[in-house]
Amino acid sequence: MKTVIQRVSKASVTVDGQVVSSIGYGLLVLLGIEDADGKEDIDWLSQKIVNLRIFNDDDGVMNRSVLDTGGDIIVVSQFTLHALTKKGNRPSYIKASKPEVAIPMYESFVEKIEQDLGKKVGTGIFGADMKVELLNDGPVTITIDTKNKE
């Protein structure tokens, strides 16, 4: 699994002109899934995200997690995180899982994040043409690939 995690002051996802999720202070998580990903990746990544100390403490040092701050999370599926760009100028998405694999993995990831965070998590709509709006706070943007966890 590949993720781009952005600390946000606010974020929202709109589909067909309707806002389907919105949060204030928290994290926007873009999630890419490949066939090699499994439950171990879900569990590890969820724990990593909710405990990632990228929020400022009282001294202005990034020393607090989204759990510590009571912030919210939106998780948006994004197959383009698995783009291969080595050859030519048109990215290949061959490594990204097909919907029949990716949808259950995405749903399991969202459920795990909700368990670890202790509250409902916002989502996009898998496979939809989504408009994601955010106000990046910092800016703070972190990438994590579960294939590099060791």
126 has catalytic annotation: no
The predicted-structure confidence for 37-93, as pLDDT tens digits, reads as follows: 999 999 999 999 999 999 999 999 999 999 999 999 999 999 999 999 999 899 999
Establish whether 6 is a catalytic residue. no
Task: Locate the domains of the chain by residue range.
Answer: 2-148
Among residues 144, 147, 133, 150, the alpha carbon closest in space to that of 51 is found at 144
Q: Does domain 2-148 have CATH number 3.50.80.10?
A: yes
Q: How large is the C-alpha radius of gyration of the chain?
A: 15
Task: Round to whole Å and give the CA distance between 19 and 132.
Answer: 10
Catalytic residue at 3? no
115 pLDDT higher than 80? yes
Task: Write down the catalytic residue from 78, 109, 123, 146.
Answer: 78
Mean of per-residue pLDDT scores for the chain: 96
- pLDDT at position 62: 97
Looking up tokens 């080595």 gives: 86
Residue in 3, 6, 79, 146 annotated catalytic: 79
Among all chains, which residue has been given the structure tokens 């994040």? 113
* pLDDT above 90 coverage of the chain, percent: 94
Average pLDDT for 111-129:
96
